[in-house]
A and B are shown apart, each in its own frame.
Chain A
Amino acid sequence: MRGRIATRFAALKDAGRGGLVTFLTAGDPDADTGLKLLRGLADAGADLIELGMPFSDPMADGPVIQASSLRALGAGMTLAATLDQVARWRQENSETPLILMGYYNPIYSYGVARFEDALAAGVDGVIVVDLPPEEDEELCLPALDAGLDFIRLATPTTDEARLPTVMRHTAGFVYYVAIRGITGTAAAGHEEIGQAVARLKRHTELPVAVGFGLRTPEQVGAVGKIADAAVVGSALVQIIADHLDDDGRAKDGLVGAVLNQVRSLRRSLGTAEGSNL
């Protein structure tokens, strides 16, 4: 049976447009608001949803996503609560692929064997930043066995010799990190991204999503033409940060503002009229 991720990318291909992948941290700025956001994303136009598993030490993230992780943790978010939210959301949405993204320690602490719970909750794939192919025995192979796609990051430093290693146990799609750096920094050039995607395509049949540094509808629209999907994270998370009161609580309008931006990102990718793709 084809999973949700493959089905969605096939539909995007038929519709002739690039997909929008949104990243938000689970439970940011608090569990309730986080769940409202999650519930609104698909209708606002997210084709795939990446949900960050908050971690105290997000080493590959810039200040914006670091802060979102700390907000979520401060509000009591845990991995178990994240899975719970996904399960609740999944009862309302059976089609949109959902991918958990984060760092290994919370999963290791939860227990790799127990992490099959994610599948039952309706998670389709995982991205774990600090698990390179050298550590595939840890989670990648058990996850693939269980039927979770293990989505790998490829970066500008992943050279030709290394690409086959990176692609070997990758499933779902390949996430191309367009910059040498952490999340939330400046975007790479359009041409450079195009070349990188072409290079990856020589090594894999899987769809390629491009992320890190994409902020504006213009950038997303442009990337949608040369890759299978564009990922936007920090720019959305920043809107959450901009809608907090002095005590760090969500102000009215937070959810609407984030979802509005999702809509305009999605519009930049074009819409096939009359279809929900």
Chain B
Amino acid sequence: MARRLVYNAPMQKNSYRTGPDEQGHFGKFGGRFVAETLMPLILAVERAYDEAKQDPAYQAEMDDYLAHYVGRPSPLYHARRLSAHFGGAKIYFKRDELNHTGSHKINNCLGQILLARRMKKTRIIAETGAGQHGVAAATVCALFGLPCIVYMGAEDMERQRPNVFRMRLLGAEVRAVTSGTGTLKDAMNEALRDWVAHVEDTFYIIGTVAGPHPYPTMVRDFQSVIGEEVRVQMMAAEGRLPDSLVACIGGGSNAMGLFFPFLDETSVEITGVEAAGLGLKSGKHAASIAGGRPGVLHGNRTYLLQDDDGQILDAHSISAGLDYPGIGPEHAWLRDTGRVNYVSASDEEALEMFQLCSRIEGIIPALEPAHALAHVAKTAPGLPADHLLVMNMCGRGDKDVFSVADRLGVTL
């Protein structure tokens, strides 16, 4: 049986890692704001997950697939040329872009499909923005022979064409969502509508730390393998904990996965990077913490982009995976407690990092982590050479080459 590289940090008093409460609240955030039709099912998912967590067989099955199918642990790589280029902090990449399917999304999909199987569900639905979660969901469905329906905004299908084809190759049905504005939030609405109509046989694999309780917790737990590995790997490489962590935030799953195991290490500075799109002042961005306020959408209370009347506003980002007007409720709480610092990076900055990282490290990053890198570019030069910075390289950029080429005026 494959062993996972895990470190279970001991619980501390005043811990940041005790949430959520029984109702799924992180402080005032989170909760279960869903239609009654879904409520019994949400409760059943919670019970099934609680049981699965206690079952060593479930954990063992997960570890086995993570090791042999996903390819975990992913390396912790010292980006020497980039560190030298910025001239400051010692920069490490957590290389989740090397996972099977090309991003961190598979960690979560594996956990959820094993749960769906325990619950004897026979039909899988998912929403996707960049298509990475859709590809990961389609992949685990192929692996276990389950039908998979992926809801994707019509606009996102256009800008992430390679992933649409990949999902179809994997046997999934991709349904174009034209309602609303045809992006990730609308895809999630459509998936919820499907779920309401198919509660008996269907499991909804949500792709980020959002949705009604227990999803934000469950997805965080599945993604925490990222931070747990970093802990062990950094101890091996440097003999101590990192000084800072940086990750991009769409819904916030790759970030929660990296951050969670370190939340109680107060020496570790933690930063989440939202998408500033055309700039926070332009109104065309996806920075729900910087530009939003608390509200209720998709089953939970969190920071949301909304107008004065509580109508949800469209997010904008060059990165389809960050183009969401909300953020996971645990992040909302971590922001209010001040434990995690939330900043943003623009389309332009991300595009520049997309190219820089490709040239200097030979790693084509996805546009999502290119946002995280933009923050690293701003802060690393001012940090001492012995500052250990870990950035989550949560996805690879193959899916983005067409849209970036477009943006750069190159015809492929």
Q: Mark A146-184, 1 if CB is under 8 A from B, else 0.
A: 000000111111110010001000000000010011100
Docked complex: A62-79 residues within 8 A CB-CB of B = 62-63, 66, 70, 73, 78-79
Contacting pair B296 A182 (CB below 8 A): no
Tell me whether A155 and B36 are in contact in the complex, defined as CB-CB below 8 angstroms, given that A78-B309, A107-B310 are known contacts.
yes
Write out, one digit per residue, whether chain A residues 46-74 have a CB within 8 A of any chain B CB (1) or not (0): 00000000111111101100100010010
Q: Which of B186, B196, B198, B311 contacts A106 (CB 8 A)?
A: B311
**Chain A hits for B309, CB < 8 A:** 78-80, 106, 109-110
Q: Is the CB of B310 within 8 A of A130?
A: no
Asked if B35 and A132 sit within 8 Å, CB to CB, the answer is: yes
Q: Is the CB of A57 within 8 A of B189?
A: yes
Q: Mark A200-240, 1 if CB is under 8 A from B, else 0.
A: 00000000000000000000000000000000000000000
Contact partners of A59 in chain B: CB under 8 A: 35, 189, 192-193, 196, 298
- Count of chain A residues with Cβ under 8 Å from any Cβ of B? 44
Which one of B37-45, B253-261, B343-351 is at the interface? B37-45
Q: Residues of A contacting B192 with CB < 8 Å?
A: 59
Segment from B11-19, B26-34, B58-66 that makes contact with A: B26-34
**Given contact pairs A57-B185, A66-B179, A181-B197, A134 touches B306 in the complex (Cβ within 8 A):** no
| Complex interface: chain A residues within 8 A of B295 (CB) | 105, 108-109
How far is A62 from B36 in the complex, measured between Cα atoms in Å? 16
Residues 170-197 of B, flagged 1 when their CB comes within 8 A of A and 0 if not, give 0000000001100001100100110011
Map CB proximity to A onto B286-298 as digits: 1 under 8 Å, 0 otherwise.
Answer: 0000000001111
Question: Is A33 at the interface (CB under 8 A from chain B)?
Answer: no
B299's nearest neighbour on chain A, judged by CB, is: A130
Contact A159 B310 (CB under 8 A): no
Cβ A130 vs Cβ B40 within 8 A: no
Please determine whether A104 and B296 come into contact, CB atoms closer than 8 angstroms: yes
Inter-subunit contact B39/A134 (CB<8 Å): yes
Is B179's CB under 8 angstroms from A132's CB? no
Known contacts A57-B297, A59-B193, A181-B196; 10 additional CB pairs below 8 A are A57-B186, A60-B37, A60-B196, A73-B311, A106-B309, A108-B296, A130-B33, A130-B296, A153-B36, A162-B40
Chain A: residues with CB nearer than 8 A to chain B? 54-60, 62-63, 66, 70, 73, 78-80, 103-110, 129-132, 134-135, 152-159, 162, 166, 177, 180-182, 185
